[in-house]
Copies of this chain bind each other. A is one copy, B any other.
Amino acid sequence: MMNLIRDLWFKRRDIVSQGYDDSLEYISRLIPLEIVSVPTGTQCWTWTVPEKWEVNNAYIEDLEGNRLLSLEDHPLHVMSYSLPIDQVVSKEELMKHLYSNPQRPGAIPFNFKYYQRDWGFCIQHNRLESFNEEQYKVFIDTTFEEGSLKIGVCTIPGEIEDVIVLVAHLCHPAMVNDDLTGVAVLVDLAKELMKKQNHYTYKLLFLPETIGSISYLSQNEEIIPKLKYGIFLEMLGNDNIHALQLSRRGNTLIDRVCQYVLKRKVEKFNEGPFRKIVGNDEMVFDGPGIFVPMPSISRWPYPEYHSSDDTPEIITGERLNESKELVLEILRILDLNYYPKRQFKGPVFLSGYGLWVDWRVNKKLNQNLEQIMLRLEGDKSIFDITEDLDMEFDDVLNYINAFEQNGLITRNEVH
């Protein structure tokens, strides 16, 4: 994961841009990736795909030609999707177009105006005071042209066509934790999932935030009914505990599985309702008319957010690995879960089937043998029973699988 981050982090990966396309191509060399292209100007529900944007040069000079700020120093110095400009402007005018963050005065903030058509620079707040001339020459050489918004789709077919979708965005230029860490974890998850026989089909999506999700779904509406659950991933490398943002409904199976896994795998984590922790593509997937339950997992907050301080130095592979393992465990449980349906009558003669479990072998299971037997009516999944009885998923799964092997239950496919 760290290699990918080192190779891609400093690129200008704006939403429709060469840097973005190059990054996607890089990923396609790591895992099988279908590239979905949506041309500039395509109407995507209430949105429109923007033009391809490139920045060639940009600087601010005083009228004596002293360069006060230059794109060459840092890609973030130019606001994403800034209009071109070549003009002498008053200090007052310049200040309206200079974005800085007084809370983090030594860092260049990340700013963007994808749809508002404006020009702008981003600058360290503590450098503003040195701007005390009356006029400045501002120069931005950007181009807007027909292009294509691109979505990378890694599909891993499973036993059924129902899809669990995992999403990370790739469009934050020259930053790492937000958003390359989600991308890196997704690439590794793809590799792990490809090694397994899965029940669900998995789709791992790499895309520009919001407009990428909207473009993909609006141009591929036939996929929507197949999307069963989703997870959004981002900001996973910094040194903070995990933050679980629940899905819109907040109590769907995937929410409860996320809670179950986090409770067992990490000492502490934050939890909050939909859109109350971080806002990303879950507002599209779990939004109006789509409504695919999509929790989001991150390590929000972190102080370097949306600034030039979000560099490889603030993340570690150890954190990324930890997050990857969490998601793998969530997916493992979802994948193994099913609805057992009783095929026997009366309490089962357990010892006759080798289904008796001594309390010295597993006390909790021993205490719950009858309780499990009473919950095999096809309306409760293995995970529901696990929760009901406050047990371990694998204990319940293995025990009920033994019922299946004895022909005592079948799998009820109606979820």
Contact = CB atoms under 8 A, between A and B. Distances in A.
Interface of A: 44-48, 115-116, 210, 213-214, 217-218, 248, 275, 283-284, 287-290, 342, 344-349, 351-353, 370-371, 373-374, 376, 408
Contacts of A46: 344, 346, 348-349, 352-353, 408
Contacts of A347: 210, 214, 283-284, 287-288
Contacts of A48: 349, 352
A409 B288 CA distance: 12
Given A46-B353, A288-B345, A288-B346, 18 more contacts: A45-B345, A45-B346, A46-B348, A46-B352, A47-B346, A115-B349, A115-B352, A213-B346, A214-B346, A217-B345, A218-B345, A248-B374, A275-B370, A283-B370, A287-B373, A288-B348, A289-B344, A290-B346
A383 B275 CA distance: 22
A280 to B, nearest CB: 12
B288 A373 contact: yes
Nearest to A350: B46
Given A370-B283, A374-B248, A374-B288, A346 B218 contact: yes
B345 A289 contact: yes
Contact of A217 (B346, B352, B374): B346
A346 B115 contact: no
A373 B352 CA distance: 57
A373 B290 CA distance: 13
A373 B274 CA distance: 13
A289 B217 contact: no
A300 B210 CA distance: 56
Identify the interface centre among A217, A275, A287, A347: most chain B CB within 10 Å of its CB.
A347
B287 A374 contact: yes
Contacts of A370: 275, 283
A275 to B, nearest CB: 6
A346 B342 CA distance: 41
A345 B290 contact: yes
Contacts of A371: 275
